[in-house]
Structure 1
């Protein structure tokens, strides 16, 4: 257990569970995580290993005896008949039988229908009427002489969700965590290992929770397959529902005008559309029109009556092309179904989560530490839906007057949701408020910048905000920084998609391109003094681009980095030497000396790895040597060479995020340009004589 795990158990006793236990008990039970964690929370919400193992066996026994597998439904029905009564875990839905004027339940896995359920139970749990709810139920069997009477009787039912919680206690316990610890706790709660992700990646994934804590919030996430886009919406909360984008109809989603029955938006906090992308998907235009009205006005019509709802709308789907391809040829919404590829629909989206920044999920990315029992957090988030934190940046920052009302609404709702998640007690520092506001502005800017490519009637907007001291923060998305030559293309006509050869480039883009051209020209002339800043998750960064222009011609290079200890750090050093070996003349020899600090935990392994680097380097004409700083107090990280340059590195050579080193077929393993980097800065200075 980590120090954070200890603190989590101390501050939230009985409300947390070790996340790897879900896999341990799931087996072949096809149930959402919140169902399993409901049971684990009752029997394994502790850090005592003996109690955990005993609890696991209890939960397994409960699932073995009471969870209904479809292929064993006949056996369970027989048990109910023979014993007269049996407890089952199943997904139960209810319909009103108007002929009998009675509510009847259907058990999804057990395969029984027309089970009479009393109206008070239905009123207490109205979601039974829409798509069903996972429950623990007592079912009885009583044969009747009347063949029209079903023998199944529902004697008791308990939806699998938390019955109560103490919000004040939640806020009090939150005060005991730093911001970084709290982010990691939330991240472990949704099932991922914090150590495998950078801060920006964590925040982007936690944005998926905003629809649960913010009413009428419209979010879209498009990106490559396998990044966990739909995981939270299918597994996380009993208050959200994930449906296939191709199965949506007006009656199912909003209202059935013939029966007057309200659809999903009337019963769920979050309605998420899975596999939403697909240009050729058939979509009902009437549904799109009602959707647009609902997303803008929070209401829809039932005949002559207008109804309101609070459900947030989430759209997740896969992209077929990478980001530069989309920016060059079309736009970041290219995969939307044709009828949704509409500027009015897109403009109603509050944020666009860049799914391409989130790595494909691998086995080692799943959490093994403690997190909230997800149902507990789901209830906390639902409680906070009534709060509004959108004004928490007022007095510290002012949004640009150029930002329209709709853009401002998108920024405010994202900011409000993220503040509730991270700082429910409203205790954020000014720097933390700025970080969240920047993320909120960026998410809306990504929507608006693509609208400029789709519809020429949209004006350009200055997405910036100003601090109290007059400092202006201009917000740019990562893809704008990486691909400025493609990013700022404009639509050529009303609702006309951008053609590949379009030349209508904004003035901001023109200056940006000119600046890049100037930098390229300067680099062609030779290296120069300067400072470069790189954003977290940025790609396309290599040691060759960062260092070689300033090291070319050097015969003696000294690398000072106290953190060349762990395997991946020594590997970075080896790749630095490889870069020199490939680019220097074959007949030249270059000396590379490392000044570092000893690893206090595994010193023998560190020295063995450095000796391996020394041995390998010799064959390439690179004389590598190293020394340990005797005081063990060096902190500065820099590279100095006899070519006359000093390169100052705030992170040393450790600039890349974790990637799969053992996968020989992973491009990130073979090529640095395909890796995501951590946030870091580099300064180039003329070395003093």
Structure 2
């Protein structure tokens, strides 16, 4: 093992996993953070053919595939009790002043009117927030013709200590920690340059920082959505145009809160394929409000959210024009300067090469278990390093919106790479350079599209009122 792998195991124990084995033993249609949880449980004494088979048989026995759901319902009706692996979510319906009912959703059965014991809700409150994967004991009451969840075992961690994660960071050099993060994402740290590693890590910033708005464009097969789909249970990936105002904000008929209130990050995929008029007009108008203030209103109901938004797409075919590529990608609604100015960053995904062979591009090392790291990233959203930014950095030629964007990107890098707040000046300058360059890409794209002098500038900065640096967008 590498030195950093030994340190990872010594400091974090069961919160680490052999990523190569995890990638080679994906379990059915389960997300990777769930599969890694099960791998850790069944392979506590080491990974063997027997333990892998036991895990796979366990999932096979308790999962329902689409064509089998009616058979499962019949078995439940006849036997009154069965176990099922699924992602469960509960909503509360207050029907009158005296009594309240909860409604359990069971996706693989197509059921949305089951019930769950209140004792389970008290023990697992995430059922009431964004839902949680696990094994449920389901019972059927033939008199009421109703399904009840009577026992539940989660397959995701729900109680972690951020302090322990932060303390463990002190045992690693910066390079060791970065390599551990790259392996955690699923990539082979040895296949990427230091700059490429920083770009890959910056994809995680929306998961640890509230209310950021990023775009990333790159070549197909570079893993732009991979971490959002497989690493975090707090993120949701949707097709760029397949979203309505009730889904994203609030459903006025049911009063059900939308995705912005349920997740830490919403990723709009393949926005390069969204044609003119492809995104609902109401969604676009409310996004303007939300991206500026973190608030939205619909039907007279105002809500606030800390959810971050990411939009990703593939580069246009042919020669890549870094100076003005957005004109060839985004539709008219998204190419408006007022919308683009709300962008905190454009991640230069075009610098990341497509994933090649599994052996060369994907990790062969240890990393944080996905379910553990998902909870860590969610917890890191509650801390910030504004004091370091404001006390040591003075921006030049930056608007208030520029400063807010750069501060958020800087904060995200700090949380991911220096969560203990211990950072050398040279290291701080490196992440500040990235933060400013990401915002400068935004400014250059807007200027080249509209030739508005307001955006014809390159943000620079001073450190401690003595060292002046300039940063372009290369």
CA contact (8 A) 2:117 2:150 kept: no
Cα separation, 2, equivalents of 1:323 and 1:219? 24
Structure 1 residue 74 displacement after superposition: 4.4
Aligned to 2:155: 160
Q: 1:3 to 1:459 in 2, by over 3 A?
A: closer
Is 1:34 aligned with 2:33?
Answer: yes
Distance change >3 Å, CA 286–CA 469, structure 1 → 2: closer
Matched, 1:13 2:13: yes
> In 2 relative to 1, CA 323–398 (structure 1 residues): closer, same or farther, beyond 3 Å?
farther
Alpha-carbon contact 2:120-2:151 (below 8 Å) kept: no
Give the distance between the partners of 2:307 and 2:271, measured in 1 at CA. 18
Instruction: State the Cα deviation string for residues 595-631 of structure 1 (Å, max 9, x = none).
Output: xxxxxxxxxxxxxxxxxxxxxxxxxxxxxxxxxxxxx
Compared with structure 1, are the counterparts of its residues 336 and 124 closer, same or farther at alpha carbon in structure 2 (3 Å cutoff)? farther
Seen in structure 2, the aligned counterparts of structure 1 residues 459 and 17 have a Cα distance that, compared at 3 Å, is closer
Distance 1:290 1:436, change over 3 A: same
Q: Please state how far the C-alpha of 1:86 moved relative to its aligned partner.
A: 2.1
1:229 match: 224
Which one of the candidate residues 328, 331, 340 is aligned to 2:334? 340
SS across alignment from 1:12: helix
CA distance in 2: counterparts of 1:58 and 1:152, whole angstroms: 29
Q: TM-score, normalised by structure 2?
A: 0.90
Q: Distance in 1 between matches of 2:430 and 2:210?
A: 22
Distance 1:169 1:221, change over 3 A: same
The one of 355, 360, 367 equivalent to 1:371 is 367
* Counterpart pick for 1:456 among 444, 451, 454: 451
Task: Provide closer, same or farther for how the CA distance between residues 130 and 254 of structure 1 changes in structure 2, counting only shifts above 3 A.
Answer: farther
| Cα distance, 1:73 vs structure 2 | 3.2
Distance 1:8 1:343, change over 3 A: same
SS at match of 2:401: helix
2:53 corresponds in structure 1 to: 57
> Could you say which residue in structure 1 is the equivalent of 2:114?
115
Contact kept in structure 2, 1:17 and 1:44, CA below 8 Å: no
Please name the residue that 2:427 is paired with: 432
For residues 129 and 14 of structure 1, do their structure 2 counterparts lie closer, same or farther at Cα, with a shift above 3 Å needed? closer
In the TM superposition, residue 262 of structure 1 has moved relative to its aligned partner by 1.6
C-alpha separation between the residues in 2 aligned to 1:254 and 1:21?
39
Q: Distance in 2 between matches of 1:109 and 1:256?
A: 23
The 8 Å contact of residues 88 and 105 in structure 2, kept in 1 or not, is answered as: yes
Q: Is residue 349 from structure 1 mapped to residue 358 from structure 2 by the alignment?
A: no
Question: Post-superposition shift, 1:75?
Answer: 4.7
Change (3 A) 1:179 1:450: same
Could you say which residue in structure 2 is the equivalent of 1:175? 170
Aligned match of 1:190 in 173, 185, 192? Answer: 185
Quote the offset at 1:169 in angstroms: 1.9
Q: Tell me the secondary structure at the aligned position of residue 388 of structure 1.
A: coil
Asked if the contact 1:241–1:271 (Cα under 8 Å) also holds between the matched residues in 2, the reply is yes
Q: Is the 8 A contact 2:231 2:373 kept in 1?
A: no
Corresponding residue SS for 1:204: helix
Q: 1:469 to 1:116 in 2, by over 3 A?
A: closer
Cα distance change on mapping 1:271 and 1:427 into 2, 3 Å: same
Name the CA distance, whole Å, in 1 between partners of 2:319 and 2:464. Answer: 36
Distance 1:2 1:344 in 2: 48
Q: Is the 8 A contact 1:66 1:89 kept in 2?
A: yes
For the Cα contact (< 8 Å) 1:274–1:317, is it kept in 2? Answer: yes
Q: What secondary structure, in the 3-state scheme, does the structure 1 residue paired with 2:328 have?
A: coil
Give, in whole Å, the separation in 2 of the partners of 1:258 and 1:247: 20
Q: 1:82 to 1:25 in 2, by over 3 A?
A: farther
> 1:442 is paired with a residue of what secondary structure?
helix
Matched position secondary structure for 1:352: strand
Residue in 1 that maps onto 2:295:
299
User: What does residue 361 of structure 1 align with?
Assistant: 355
How many Å apart are 1:84 and its aligned residue?
3.4
In 1, Cα distance between equivalents of 2:214 and 2:240: 14
1:626-665 alignment runs, 5 A limit: none
Tell which deviates more after alignment, 155-164 or 360-369: 155-164
Q: Counterpart of 1:13 in 2: which secondary structure?
A: helix
Comparing both structures, which one devotes a greater share of its residues to helix? 2
Uncovered stretches (5+) of structure 1, i.e. residues with no partner: 479-689
Contact kept in structure 1, 2:106 and 2:112, CA below 8 Å: yes
Shift of 1:368: 2.0
What SS class does the counterpart of residue 14 from structure 2 fall into? Answer: coil
The count of residues paired between Structure 1 and Structure 2 equals: 467
How big is the shift at 1:407? 0.6
- d(CA) in 1 for partners of 2:255 and 2:113? 22
Whether the 8 Å CA contact 2:140–2:148 is kept in 1: the answer is yes
| Aligned position for 2:461 | 465
CA 1:19–1:325 in 2, change beyond 3 Å: closer, same or farther? same
Correspondence for 2:471 among 465, 470, 475: 475
243 and 125 in structure 1: CA distance in 2 versus 1, 3 angstrom threshold: farther
Q: What is the rounded CA distance, in whole Å, between the counterparts of 2:140 and 2:122 in structure 1?
A: 24
Matches within 5 A, 1:69-80: 69-80=65-76
For residues 231-290 of structure 1, the C-alpha deviation after alignment (integer angstroms, 9 at most, x for no partner) is 111111111111121211111111123433221111211111112222515122221111
Residue 201 (structure 1) aligned to one of 173, 180, 196: 196
CA distance in 1, matches of 2:391, 2:128: 46
How far did residue 326 of structure 1 move?
Answer: 5.9
| Range with greater deviation from structure 2 (296-305 or 265-274) | 296-305
2:410 aligned to which of 402, 409, 415: 415
Kept in 1: contact 2:389–2:407 (CA 8 A): no
Whole-Å separation in 1 of the counterparts to 2:327 and 2:171: 42
What are the equivalent positions in structure 2 for 1:532-681 lying under 5 Å apart?
none
Change (3 A) 1:396 1:113: closer
Distance 1:393 1:442 in 2: 16
Shift of 1:463: 1.4
CA distance in structure 1 between the partners assigned to 2:248 and 2:188 by the alignment? 35
Q: 1:99 to 1:424 in 2, by over 3 A?
A: closer
Q: Distance in 2 between matches of 1:438 and 1:30?
A: 40
1:85 aligns with 2:81: yes
